[in-house]
Amino acid sequence: MKLYDIAHSRTGDKGNTSTISLIPYKEADFSLIKKYVTDEAVAKWFAPLGPIKVTRYEFFKVPALNFVIENALGGGVTHSLNIDRHGKSYSSALLEMEIPDK
Amino acid sequence: MKKIRIGSGAGYADDRIEPAIDLINRGNLDYICFECLAERTIAIAQNQKLADPNAGYNDLLEYRFKKILPAIKAHPTKVITNMGAANPKAATKKIVEMAAEYGVHNLKIATVSGDDITTLTSNYGANEMMEDHQPLSSLNRKIISANAYLGAKAIVTALDQGADIVVTGRVADPSLFMAPLIHEFGWNFTDYDKLGKGTLLGHLLECAGQVSGGYFADPGYKDVDKLWELGFPFADVTDTGDITLHKLPDTGGLLSTDTVKEQLIYEIQDPTKYYTPDVIADFSNVQVEPAKDGEGIHVIGATGRAKTGELKVSVGYEDGYITEGGINYGGHNAFNKAKLATEIVRKRLQLLKVPVDAFKEDYIGADSLYHGVLPVPEHVSEIRARIATRTSSLEAAKEVVREVKSLYTNGPSAGGGVRTITQKIVAIASITVPENDIRTHVDSEEVK
């Protein structure tokens, strides 16, 4: 299944760093997400963006992950030639990732 | 238990004004905060101030205050805003004039300044830029502005002195919203757990409609009611720092645990370390639940620890020109025509030896957002070729524009819809400076 089926997401930006949340609609799906959507998996998924570094952070009382992706915005909001300089649309790309359903 | 009510009147420089006025009129607010200053807006405003000493504040200040002033006359609400941008003193002067014009009396308007350290940048040549870890002195560009992110303290001073409206330049966004809590509840500036909670309030409200259903909709899947009448959020906050978020009845939008979670995580990095001038806030144990009485969303659990003592400074510098141009193709072989179009422009710029520092091609409708993260379709029924360049000179930018326009008569068949735009770029480098280097000032004016 796709992450889109079980989770929602929003992207933010700081300089040349993209931050992407991943929030399951149901708490029961959080363990599956934690198992498969690792920092390595996200780094591999977004590898076409260039040499990026991904760090995964977890919230403890809200089932949610936050991915911090460095060097993902073509030089940053004020320098990038990208049409989407903020990388606002990256959340939609993350939700297209396929994961096993158990 | 004391409780105050704070509304969010704007989430960015060009935000809508009607939802803010609706909040003042119907929300029974104590305060409303307008966050209107993006990272590089202030550098652009600095250029406007250089050209005219009475300019350099938010472009929409007059537009907004025409509506705010009559509303707060009818429904007294204190206003805090960073619409002062590069020239908060001129912004205050304008608001004083307008208040007299609109017959709003007994109004004290305070100006917070001291964030502008443009003339001091040479002192910080050795300070490392966060973006590339090189010293600021290595920036081989013309510096336009340098503004430190101030904390809540000067705004609290203004409120303690009885200000009804506080106008600032660069202040950390959450600090705008936290200042009234410190003022009203007498929180100590070293009570870091409380400041962590106040920072969470600011973080949740600073993007206005983004917590109450804006930027959430996915039609048919994540539906949001009447986005054309999106209601902005407000919060009831207790003196212990418990937050309950609301939006007004009969407004569009959606306030749910899901919308609040998206905004909780938005633009933060490590949730245990959210740096502001006031505190290092920790959001990692925040809880988001529907309020027990069924009214609103209850958010608790933020904590904090001692601030770093360093302030982030945004340094705006001239970074040449970005030129974008595009042309559409449709029907049979549309994608290949678009690819030929970008190839023609690239080769022409090489042949003419136009000094282009960076060149990028995109195919809008097929491959423009993700650079191959998602699969690129082979065939599309219509597509837009996009060319973007960075050039140091305006002359080179004009050459790029000419070459894109030439695609009409010199390019592939049946291209249409050429548009070009050239923007003079103000880029931002970030450094930190010791907090003790920054001297803030609070000045007040009264409208009798």
The beta-carbon neighbor of B269 closest among A23, A68, A90 is A68
Per-residue tokens: B30: 């104590």
pLDDT at B41: 84
Residue found by looking up tokens 């140091």 in the block: B392
Domain ranges of chain A: 3-94
pLDDT at A78: 80
Give A-chain residues touching B262 at CB under 8 angstroms. Answer: 8-10, 21, 23
The strand ranges marked E within B222-296 are 233-238, 243-247, 274-275, 280-282, 287-290
What is the DSSP-derived secondary structure letter of residue A47? G
Q: Write down how long chain A is.
A: 102
pLDDT at B38: 82
Q: Write down how long chain B is.
A: 448
DSSP β-ladder status, B233-238 and B441-447: unpaired
Q: By the 8 A CB rule, do B169 and B116 touch? A: yes
Q: How many angstroms separate the first and last alpha carbons of chain B?
A: 34
- How many beta-carbon contacts under 8 Å exist across A and B? 125
Q: What is the CA radius of gyration of chain A?
A: 13
Tell me how far the alpha carbon of residue A66 is from its chain's centroid: 7
Per-residue tokens: B22: 């609706």
Per-residue tokens: B61: 């200040």
Residue ranges of chain B with per-residue pLDDT less than 50: none
Q: What is the mean pLDDT of chain A?
A: 96
Which domains does chain B carry? 3-115+150-308 (no CATH), 318-430 (3.30.70.100)
Interface membership of B427 toward A (CB under 8 Å): yes
**CATH node for A3-94:** 3.30.70
Q: Which amino acid is at B195?
A: L
Interface membership of B285 toward A (CB under 8 Å): yes
pLDDT digits (tens, 9 = 90+) for A45-83: 999 999 899 999 999 999 999 999 999 998 888 889 999
Interface membership of A95 toward B (CB under 8 Å): no
- pLDDT at residue A10 tops 90: yes
DSSP β-ladder status, A65-70 and B3-10: unpaired
CB < 8 Å from B in window 62-91 of A: 62, 64, 66, 68, 74, 76-79, 81-84, 89-90
Decide if B286 and A59 are in contact by the 8 Å CB cutoff.
yes
The beta-carbon neighbor of B370 closest among A58, A64, A93 is A93
Q: Using CA atoms of A27, A31, A36, A40 in order, give the dihedral in degrees to the nearest 10.
A: 100
Q: By the 8 A CB rule, do A46 and A93 touch? A: yes
**φ and ψ at residue B326, rounded to 5 degrees:** -150, 160
Integer Cα distance of A23 and A26 in angstroms: 9
pLDDT at B342: 98
pLDDT at B22: 98
The beta-carbon neighbor of B386 closest among A9, A78, A83 is A83
Give B-chain residues touching A25 at CB under 8 angstroms. Answer: 258
Integer Cα distance of B26 and B17 in angstroms: 14
pLDDT at A68: 98
pLDDT at B156: 98
Q: Is the ipTM of this complex over 0.95?
A: yes
pLDDT at B40: 76
What is the DSSP-derived secondary structure letter of residue B213? T
Decide if A60 and B428 are in contact by the 8 Å CB cutoff.
no
What is the DSSP-derived secondary structure letter of residue B139? -
Query: Any residues with CB less than 8 A from the CB of A60 and at least 6 apart, and which?
Result: B284, B285
Query: Any residues with CB less than 8 A from the CB of B407 and at least 6 apart, and which?
Result: B327, B341, B344, B345, B415, B418
Task: Output the CA–CA distances (angstroms, integers) from residue B235 to B67, B274, B352, in the order listed.
Answer: 22, 21, 59
Cα-Cα-Cα-Cα dihedral sign, residues B146, B152, B157, B159: positive
Among residues B292, B265, B319, B323, the alpha carbon closest in space to that of B43 is found at: B319
Integer Cα distance of B81 and B206 in angstroms: 11
Integer Cα distance of B233 and B207 in angstroms: 9
Give B-chain residues touching A77 at CB under 8 angstroms. Answer: 39-40, 428
DSSP β-ladder status, B31-34 and B382-391: unpaired
Task: Give CA angle at B341 (B339, B342), nearest 5°.
Answer: 70
Integer Cα distance of B152 and B279 in angstroms: 10
**Number of Cβ within a 10 Å radius of residue B313:** 25
Q: H helices within A1-102, ranges in order?
A: 30-36, 39-45, 90-94
Integer Cα distance of B51 and B34 in angstroms: 26
Q: Which residues pair with B424 in a beta bridge?
A: B321
Among residues A89, A56, A61, the alpha carbon closest in space to that of A73 is found at: A89
Tell me how far the alpha carbon of residue B254 is from its chain's centroid: 22
Q: Using CA atoms of B75, B79, B85, B91 in order, give the dihedral in degrees to the nearest 10.
A: 60
**Number of Cβ within a 10 Å radius of residue B324:** 20
